[in-house]
């Protein structure tokens, strides 16, 4: 009988990071989240532009919005 492998442990935030985050105000945490969102969007946009260098800006914006809304696959 085949034995099932246990699921790997979920990734855990290091205690040092937990300490830093605990020291942040809610406004600072919110700003960090916003900056991560902006970075992810810029990364998605760069990927679309790399895949479709001939697309107009409006087409790139539509594709970025589509990927963010429903995924790239």
pTM of the predicted model over 0.85: no
- pLDDT, tens digit, for every residue of 13-64? 888 888 999 999 999 999 999 999 999 999 999 999 999 999 999 999 999 9
Residues comprising the chain, all counted: 73
Give the CA count within 13 Å in the CB-facing half-sphere of 26: 0
* CA dist., res. 67 & res. 73, Å (int): 8
């Amino acid at each position: 009988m085949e034995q099932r492998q246990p699921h790997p442990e979920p990734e855990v935030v290091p205690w040092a990071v937990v300490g830093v985050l605990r020291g942040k105000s809610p406004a600072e945490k919110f700003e960090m989240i916003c900056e991560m969102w902006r970075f992810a969007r810029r990364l998605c946009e760069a990927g679309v532009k790399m895949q479709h260098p001939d697309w107009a800006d409006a087409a790139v914006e539509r594709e970025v919005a589509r990927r963010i809304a429903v995924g790239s696959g």
